[in-house]
Structures are given as structure tokens and as C-alpha cells.
Structure 1
């Protein structure tokens, strides 16, 4: 039975990924800072282990996760993230630090801690990135910079761990109907209609397709865009 560690499981995309992983029989390890929310979600998935830790505080992860990670880890799915928009002229260092810490430094540290278990299982790291990790637009500088960095992390990790049998996939969803997207629309001053965007289950399906690819191949980069209506 596979062991899968997931961040952001209480978010829109993460919940669907957790459900799909559980439905196929994986042992789930759900990591997040809101223990109560994770425990509530875990009740839907018998056998799930909750790991209370904050990727926004990467220096604390090693202590929080000491002796809590499995010896073998088949999948590490990074789905947690944060977004703040604004022009460069108005973004202070606190916003930049939050974006770079939550979206980049936290995933990097969690991956480092999980690497021995990933190597033992010839596992798979999936980083749920963003279309903003491929192109930066006005008002998106800090968020896009963190996602460009996440792409660089994935590319370097893939090159470093290929010989250890660890696969690495970056997934770049377009606008997806989640609470984060609702926040983005509010920051943009635009009306939000969830039906106009990718549904989170569709992104979860793409993630599982990458994870389930036979071992003779590897999906390195997967872009998911809104379909025709």
C-alpha cells in the first residue's frame, strides 16, 4: 500500500487529491497548520495521519515532523499556497517574504526532509504550481516570482534525484474555482463566477494521471487550462 503526503488538503484542489488518493487505497499523511480542519477531513478517510505543521515556518518543520514521516514515501504532493496581488510600487517586504516562504521555501524544506523516504520508495514529488509560474503579468510580481522559483526547484530536484528513481512533476493549473481564486477576483475588483473556471476535481485528476503513469515514463511539466464551455 502506497504512502502519500499531501499539503493543502483542506483547500479546493487538495481535498479532491486527498479523496482520489484515498479511494485508490493510499495511506494518507495530511500536513497543515489547522489541526482541527485536518482532523475533520481525516474522518472521511480512515487511517489518515494528521501532521500539524506550517510550511510558512520552514525552520520549524524538522522539529514538528521528527519521527513522524514514514520510512517509505511514494508520493509527496505540494498543494498548499498563498496569494497576494499588487503592483511592485506598492508591495512591501512582508508580502514578498510571505509569498517566497509559503510558496517556495516551505515546499523546499519539506521536500528535503522527505527525500530519504522518497528515495527508499523511488517516489514521486508533485508540485502544484500555477499558470503564474510560466508567465508574470502586471500585479502578480511577488506571487509569480515565488511560482517561478517553485518551477526552478522542481527542475533542479528532478536533475538531482533522477538517479535515485525519484520522479518530479510540476502542474500548472490555470484559474481554478477555489477559495483562493475568489480572493484573487476580490483583489482584482472583478465578479467571481466559479462555473467559468477549471473545477478543482479536474486538476486533481491531472495530478493523479501524472502519479499513475507507468515507471518507464515521467511527466515533467503539465499545464491545465480552462476548457471550452
Structure 2
């Protein structure tokens, strides 16, 4: 699992552990509450591949791969720092592909499951979100290609697209989902019958705040 050291990723790791999985983490920064065998710079996509192989060196068959690592650098197109774009492309997109490539032999051996953590931003772009929105949109294509190519090899893929999440300990918004709720959905997706695959799952908060414009006025904000 990538991105397991805080927030949603930590909740997913803890839920999968409670479900009986033995979880190994590949993070950019070590978990304070979990033993990381290897930490890797996911902006270095060769390092992401090599680190995945090292984490799985003694794992002949892999039941589940959850790809949650993300960077959320923001900025409007006119002022976007090239470093922010490059980091988003590497961490949110290319590293995911390289980790999957490294893990596929073990996933095929187990008839395993890949869960890619997408976002509503993948098909609901917003101002200032070019790097984040574009990479999450591209991740949908990665998921779909994996579905087509790897099902004959017994490997299922699910793209999970959450909306707003209370990812930080000081966020108490009632209009966002808890990290534990998102983790429960990951658990549910993984427990789907072996002859099914949930190709894409969208999650929205159950409660909705007042948008900046409604009705006919909403057209002015498209």
C-alpha cells in the first residue's frame, strides 16, 4: 500500500489490518504507528519501481494493492510552478504505473485486486487545480486499461473516487466524509464476490452544503 502514513491512507491501512490483511507500506515518509520496511521518494519513478520490488521480494503472491499516495499542489495555470506540475505528474500518475508494473507478477499469482484512489477532481475540474485534476483524470484511463488488460490474468482493478474527506485531525466539517468511512468502502470493494469487479465507485458526503450559486445562476459558474 502507498500513502498509508496519515489521513485516509492510515485509516485504510488500519481497516485492512483489522480485516485480516498483512499490510506492507511504501510511503514517502515513514509511518509513526507502523513498521515501514522501505521508504521511497515517489517523485523518482525508478525508485518507486525498485522499492516495490524490494517490499515484495519475499511475497510470491499479492492479494491486494492499494495506491493512495498523492500530492495536492495547487496553482492557476498562469502562475503554476513547474515543480508543482512535475511532482503531481510523478506522484499521482507515473509512480502508480511503476508500482503496478513491479507488483503485477505477484498480483497475477494471487488473482489479486488493485484499488486506485482517484478523486471527484478527475471529472470535476476546478480553478487552481490543474496539476491535481489532470493527474486524477489520467488515473481513470490507467484504471480502465488495467481492467481490460489484466482481467484475463485474474487481476481486478477498482477506481475509487471520493469527494470531500476530513483528512486532517482539526477538520470537523459535517459536509465531508470521515477517513474511517472511506476505509470502510475500500473494505467493501475488496470483499466483492470473486466473479465480479467494481470498476469505478464514486463516494459523496451524505450532507451537502450550500453551493456558491444555484438554479439558473449556476450557469454563470460553469
Normalising by the smaller structure, the TM-score range is: 0.7 to 0.9
Aligned equivalent of 1:21: 16
Aligned equivalent of 1:55: 42
Q: Mark the runs of 5 or more structure 2 residues left unpaired by the alignment.
A: 209-222
- State the 1:8 CA deviation: 1.0
Q: Mark the runs of 5 or more structure 1 residues left unpaired by the alignment.
A: 1-5, 43-47, 183-191
What per-residue deviation string (whole Å, max 9, x for no partner) do you get for residues 172-208 of structure 1? 00010113x98xxxxxxxxx64333111111111111
Structure 1: how far apart are the matches of 2:71 and 2:54?
Answer: 28
Aligned equivalent of 1:120: 109
CA gap 1:218/1:66 in 2 versus in 1, 3 angstroms: closer
- State the 1:67 CA deviation: 4.2
Aligned equivalent of 1:189: none
Aligned equivalent of 2:178: 199
Q: Please report the TM-score for the alignment, with normalisation by the length of structure 1.
A: 0.84
Structure 2: how far apart are the matches of 1:67 and 1:201?
Answer: 29
- State the 1:50 CA deviation: 2.9
Structure 2: how far apart are the matches of 1:216 and 1:78?
Answer: 22
SS at match of 1:29: coil
2:4 counterpart of 1:12: no
SS at match of 1:171: strand
- Cα-Cα RMSD: 1.8
CA gap 1:193/1:86 in 2 versus in 1, 3 angstroms: farther
Larger radius of gyration: 2
Aligned length: 206
